[in-house]
Every structure is written in C-alpha cells, then in structure tokens.
Structure 1
Amino acid sequence: MKTLERLRRHPRLVDLLWTLPLFAYALVFMPTSLGPAAAGLPPDPFLLAMVFGLLTPLIWRRRWPRGVFAVIGLVSFAQWLAGVDPHVANVSVLVALYTVASRSTLRWALAAAAVSVFGFALPAFDGGQSFKSALNAMATVTVFVVAILIFGIYLRTRRAYLQSLEERALQAEQERDTQVRMAMAAERARIARELHDVIAHNVSVMVVQADGAAYAIDTDVERARNALETISTTGRLALGEMRRLLGVLRESDDTGSYTPQPGVGQLGELVEQVREAGLPLEFTVEGEQKELPQGLQLSVFRIVQEALTNTLKHAGPGASASVRLRYEDGGVEIHVRDDGHGTAEAENDGKGHGLAGMRERAALYGGTVRARPVPGGGFEVAVRLPAGEAVR
C-alpha cells in the first residue's frame, strides 16, 4: 500500500517504467521491418529514431496529453510519408488517444479519435491490399479506437465524480466544524447569561443579609446569626451552581451538562430565599399547571430570579413584592411587582444584563417583556412566554 502511494506521487516515473517494456519489445521486433537487419546488420537509424519518437513522449503524457498526442501523430505521419509499415511502437497512438480522452474535454477527445482513425486509414488503403480487406481492417481499428475513447471518457467522468465527492465531503466537514463552533459560542453565551443571573441574585441576597447582620449585631444577636447563616447557605448554593455551569466549559469533563437545570418547581425555594433575605413576598400560581419544556422552565425561573434581584437591589427598605405565575392555553404569564421607590433604575443600571437579559430569554421563545414604573411608587415586570420550542 505504501509503495502504491509513492508511485501515485510520481506519475512520470510510473509512465517511464511501463514504457520501458514497450521500448524493449519494439527494438526486438524492429528488424522484421527491414530485410537487411534480419541478416545481422544493425537496425536502420531512421527506424530507431522513429521508435524513440513514438514512445518517448509517453513519459509526459499526463502532463501534456494533447501535446504528446500531437507529437506522436506527427511522427506517425512522417513514418507513412517515409513508406515504413506500421510497427509495434505505433501502439503509442492508442495510448495517447486514451490519455486525451481521460484528461481533456469531450471535444478534444473526439478530435483525437478522428485523427487516429484517419492515421490508421492511410496505410490501410495505401498498402496494395484489396478495398474489402482494407475496409475490414479499418472497421477493426475503428472499434478499438471507439472502445478506447469510451473507456477514457468514462474514467474522466469517474475521476471528476470522485473529485466532486471529495469536495463535497470537505465542504460538509467544514460546515460541520462551523456549526460546532457556532454551537460552542452560543453555549458560552448561554453560560455567561446563566452566571450573571446566578451571581447577581445570590450576591444581592448576601449583600442584603450582610447589611442586616451589621445593623443588628449589637442589638439583636440572634437576628444577626440568622442573617450570617443565610449568607453562608446562599454562598454555598451560588458556588455549587457556578461549578455546575463552569463544568460545561471543561473539555475533559462534560458532567455539568447532565445536571438538572432549575425550573418552575424550584420557584418555591427561590421565594423562600428572598423572604429570608428580608423582603416580604407573596407568591401565587393561577390556572391549570402544565408540563412546560425544560428550556422554557429555565427561562421562567431566571426571569423571576432577575426581577426579584432587581427588587432587592433597587426597591429600598420597607418594600414588599408579589410574584404571580399564570398558566394559559397558549403559554405562561409572569408578573412581578413591588412597592419600592428605586426600581426605575433597574431598566439600565450599568451593572449587569438586567432587563436586557429578560428580553433575550423571552425573545428566544417568541415572548414579550413589559417593564415599567408603577404610578405612586414601585416597579412591575410583565412577561408572556408561548409554550413552544425555542425560536432558532
């Protein structure tokens, strides 16, 4: 197999190797065309030059197929003009014809075939034989020429077909690599969005609890202790979720991709966490609860989490909030509202994705987000998500 690969890389050497036996065969039988040579005389110089002129160009037949055919054709014509009978070396005409048919266009292949038939017709009808014999000889030669022509065209077509298959395979491989890179970029963007939501929410809870602990540490030790415990629990949860998300980025460890994502079922835990952070919160679910796609459940959870994070950051002391989740035939609605005084800044506080992240998640499912200050104080976020697959 390695030897064949080396030979394919050196086509001229291959042509030389298989042309050498033709040289030897032609030289051995060359004396039969000249009577004096059969008696031990040296071969005729013209006939020797003719053999080399017919066979030597075959070494370059793959590189210049039409040029080689032209040279061999001219040598053969000179042979006919000199009155030399057809020789073993004239098989080079058929080899050159095959090369043109397999490596040039159909027009050149037909032209070479016509020239070959005409070249073989010259000695056939000029050899003193009967017209019928010459016609039979020409019919036989024509069959050979047509067969070689068809075989060469077939190989050229097959070579072009195989080349197109290789190009398509290469293109498909490149497109696959591009799709993989795009999927990796989208996954990293998703992980960045998830990390923002996780860090923003949990750090906000920890900051609120730390402020409460600092305020109550001298007057209410038990309350300060509870706040510190909440900070510790929240920090552990945040670290665990961050490890899960970052684990997806590790090429050698893809276990993170199999860890369940938070969904609607974890909203109760989120509400309790916010309540423990000191924000009075009312949570209600309306309508007949339906089984939602996992990706949509994750978007619901993150939207509620982001809205409550903004409330913790901007609503101020003494504020309360409410979360209403409503199931409909066409999807699910989320309504988060608070009665604070600073949440208007949540639209673009310059510190994170904020409502832009909510809109990205909603747009992924063809949903809508409405976020605005409430007259008289407070802020509300209303989101509607169709219960369908993500819009790609």
Structure 2
Amino acid sequence: MSTSPAGPQMPADGLLSAARRNLRELAHGLSHASHPSTPLLANAPKRWQRLLPYGVVLALASIFIPVTITNLTTQYSVPGALAGALGVAQAAPLLMLAHRPLQAWWIIFPADILGALVLLAQPAEPHDVWPWTPPVIVAYLFLLLALGLREIRRTVIAVWAVTGATGAVLHLIAPDRSSGSALLLTILGGVVLVIGGAVRERGVAQRRLAEQETISEAERAQRTLLEERTRIARELHDVVAHHMSVITVQADSAPYRISGLPKAAEEEFAAIAAAARESLGEMRRLLSVLRSEGTEGDRAPQPGLSRLQQLVEATVRAGLPAELTLSKDLGEVPPAVDLSAYRIVQEALANVVRHAPGARTRILVATAQGYLIVLVVNGPATAPGSPLETSGTGHGLVGMRERVRLTGGTLDTGRLPDGGFRVAARIPLPPATAPSAHLPPEEP
C-alpha cells in the first residue's frame, strides 16, 4: 500500500509550527515586561518597606561598579578607560532592578558578552575565570532574582535559555579559555530563577485569595441584604394584604349594612371594592415571586411586641439570663414597626447567645417623643467555655439596619467598656389619629 506524500510530513510540520510559536512567545517575553514600571514593594504598608528596594539597588551598584573595574584592571590587565566603561555598563543598570529589571537585563547581558570578548583578547593567566568573571556572576544572580520576582514564567525561561545558550557559544569559541563559569552561571541562575518565581507566584496566589475573600464577603453581605429586603417585603405584604382584605369586605358589604344609600354611593363602594381586589391580586402575584417556595411558615401570622415575652422566656430557658421591660403606654403600634421591633430584639438575643454565652441581657421597649425605642444591652460572657462564634460576619447587623432604615428610624450599635454590647433602635411612630368630629344632626 502506497503512503500519501503528505502523511509523513504532517507531524514534522506540526512540530515546526509549535517550535516557531514557542520561539515567538519567548521573544515576546524578552521584549515586553509583564508588569508595569511600579517599584517592588510599592504597595507595602510602611514607608521604610517601600524604600527598601531603592536602598538595596543603590548598595548593589555602589559595590559592584568599583569591584568590577578593579577586577578588570588588576586581574585581567584591561586598560583603565575600557575597564571603567565595562564596569559601569555591567553594574550601573543594577539601579533599575527595583522597577525595570527586564530593561536592566537588556543592558547588563550585552555588556557582559562584550566584556567576555574583551577578555578573550587579553593574555590568558592560569587562574583567570572566563567567560564570566566572579563580579559578573554575582551581579547577574541578583539580576536574575529581580527578574524572577517580577516577570512571568515565560520571560524568566527565555532569559535562562538565552544565558545558557550564550555561555555554550562562548565556550565553543574558546574552549581552552573556558573555566566552567558559563555552566556555573546557568545552574545557579536556574536555581535563583526558580526561587524568585516561587516567591512571586506565592505572592500572586495570596493576593488573589485575599481579593476573592473580599469579594465573597461583599457578596455574602449583599445576599444577606437582599434576603432581608425580601423577607421585609413579604412581611409588609402580609400586613397590607390584611388591611386590603378588610377594605374589600367593608366596601362589598356596605350596601347591605347601610340602608338607603343613593345609587352613586353604591357605585362608589363597588369601585372601591374592585380596586382593592385588584391591588390584593397584584400583591399576591408579587408575593409568589418573592417567595422561593410556598411554605406554611410564610403564611403564619407575623410576630410582634405581644410575643416578646415568649421570646425572652425561650431565651432564658436556653441559659441566657435576660430581663424584659415593656412600657405600659405603648398603645397602638403600626404593624410594620411592631414586626421590625420584634425582629431587632430576636436578632440581638441571637447574637448574644452566639458571641457572649451566659451574659446578662436587658431589653427595654418604650415610647418617647413620638419614637419607639428598642434597647438591648448585654454584659460580657460569663458562661464557661468558648463562644459559639469568636468573630461574626456582621450580617445580622446589616439586616437590623435595613429594617430600621426602611421604617425611617436609626440604629446605634457598639461595644461597651465592660466588654458587653449595645443595640439601640429608634423608630418613628405616626402621630395619633384625632377622633372624628361628630356632625350635628340635620335639621328636619
């Protein structure tokens, strides 16, 4: 069976295209920095930490410029002017390591190659290190460390590959002069790049984890807020639906309860009943959207201040000493305010149970100057053992604030000097409705 001529070439073409693609990526990594020109540790919380990289690179340049020049002139007999130019080119760009290490590499590495070629023209000594001199090796390792801390993996691999390949080429040019420093720099450079890359990737992972935790916390707070709004809307719907039902029944039955109504009045009552039924139907449709599932708990009567005593008694049975003080002049409280006050006390007691088990707690509900005051104060935890929760998310406080805000009130929470906690809500009450004035009887 004959083989198609295109068949055997397909794997080779694929390998060549993959090699070209990888080479393009490596070249792009060498020519484009993967980070903005912001200094290393630019986001550090303390000023001395932000200035530390500048101090390090200044010290490196101050050390390696004279050391490199001295090494070239004394050990390799390079003329002073040429040694000074090479020393500055090989060591002065170390000042750029704090913010532009890749650009510094583009200056230092060609200068190192030029220095190796210059040394090749000098007389060989038995103990000469070539192609890379000791100051070049040490300074280049600092450069590679800065690259590993700032650049992505593709860039550092490209730098390491170019360094190793250049060292191999220089070794082939003059194998009798080579002292193994090219291989040494390749090995040590790979180790330094791995260490720097590991530190960099660990820092990136920690930043991403912190960002994700912040986002998750914000999402949880937003979800708690939405759930609380949904529950408030559902509870308010139930309260309003009751009054709308009463209006509907009263408007429908008015012609039968009141005799002698004119035709226009009967039509007006019929229109009121029809509008009330339509509004009631709209609210029921809204409730079906708000409820995730229709449970019997959703249809249960909503609690209020009349059930605070039962709530406190249940809390006392759970092991929390609590005292309830209800003002005797509460009078008629609007259903929305009644429900909000109950929920605030309920959430405050739940927080005491979770965070301060055994703490003595006092609850006060009273009216003052047209406001309903709800105050829950607890002392420090006294029960043995650790709290059920050592640190809260604050979502319960978010729900309480949302309830108070929707009723036009204010909420004040905070820790007390003795280690306790205070929750104080101030909810406005509508002015009392004045009794209707009786009209005088009509003249016969």
- TM-score between both structures, scaled by the size of structure 1: 0.48
Q: Which has the larger radius of gyration?
A: 1
The structure with more helix, counted as a fraction of residues: 1
